[in-house]
Chain A
């Protein structure tokens, strides 16, 4: 079975989506043929089109942008929609998705998943499962923590279940997860992080509230 892991982050490196796809791929058995694509720009690259040929499962990972999909990723989905409507593959193609957001609640990705489900309807593809991940700001920071441990426990459990669904070509209800820490702690950590980044850029914490 050929599975495409499609990173929808605009970032070349160090994206949360790439970490999620890496962790997911480590849960998949060796019998699954994996191809990696990166939809970083509004046009699907020639290389990615070649990789996508004959794929039976699409797994998207992307960040939540203003309650929905990043605009460049949406453009790529329109191109894929057109492709699948022309090609009409004989086998059912299953679609799974990992959406991460900077808010604490994974549920805030629900509409992005809905948009992707509507896309599946237009492209004649079958929805497998969506995982909405909150506290996404921690994903890259915790990437070296062993899988299934500590703060990553909830997310890795969802990834393990997703790997089982993909292997069995099954569908299931969407799930929403967050790192194992209280909301007020996450809020404080992120706000301190913004201040640190501001200082690194020669700004003061007060500058973050600048009005133009």
Chain B
């Protein structure tokens, strides 16, 4: 399955991906308010693999497990993801196992699932040279922690930026 996670308005998404509905098996966007990760680790030690928060975003870990490709489209915020996209990633850690492995001389989480997806990230919005550099390093670090392969990191220009009212994650 191909998964798309984005923080765009529907009009803006259609401009850059007119066929998104057919191309992606699942699209996660700020349609419904998203609650924040509370750091409870319930997705590891209460309901392993699934987030314990009851909203529309509790099964992100399982979604990642069924993917061959993941595309993230996010406003670039200080060299990272927007609050909505970051919230989705924060709520997805059940995809990984709580135990550790040592990779590249550093501690990371062990895999829970055997699938490996290709990660594509498109940033948009105003972005300084330093923020761009941080964003690139961030995606590389994410790929190492999610044990996936980077397909592409792109900075979109000319995209009309309209922040969605749900983007910052309402409670």
Contacts and interface: CB of A to CB of B under 8 A. Distances in A.
A207 B46 CA distance: 9
Nearest to A15: B39
Contacts of B113: 211
Interface in A1-25: 9-11, 15
Given A187-B107, A212-B62, A115 B36 contact: no
Interface string B131-157: 100100110011001000000000000
A103 B108 contact: yes
A58 to B, nearest CB: 15
Interface stretch (A73-81, A87-95, A152-160, A163-171): A73-81
Interface in B75-109: 77-81, 83-84, 86-87, 89-90, 92-93, 97-100, 102, 106-108
B83 A75 contact: yes
Interface centre among A65, A118, A187, A211 (most CB of B within 10 A): A118
Given A71-B36, A74-B83, A74-B86, A103 B48 contact: no
A116 B130 CA distance: 12
A67 B106 CA distance: 13
Nearest to B144: A67
B170 interface: yes
A209 B45 contact: no
Interface stretch (A29-37, A45-53, A195-203): A195-203
Nearest to A122: B78
A115 B137 CA distance: 11
Nearest to B97: A209
The majority secondary structure among interface residues of chain B is: mixed
A120 B46 CA distance: 38
A208 B47 CA distance: 9
Interface of A: 9-11, 15, 41-42, 63, 65-72, 74-75, 77-78, 103-105, 107-108, 111, 114-119, 121-122, 183, 187, 190-191, 194, 197-198, 201, 203, 207-212
Given A190-B100, A191-B100, 10 more contacts: A68-B138, A70-B39, A114-B79, A118-B134, A183-B107, A207-B48, A209-B48, A209-B97, A211-B65, A211-B113
Interface of B: 36-39, 41, 44-46, 48-50, 59, 61-62, 65, 77-81, 83-84, 86-87, 89-90, 92-93, 97-100, 102, 106-108, 112-113, 128, 130-131, 134, 137-138, 141-142, 145, 168-171
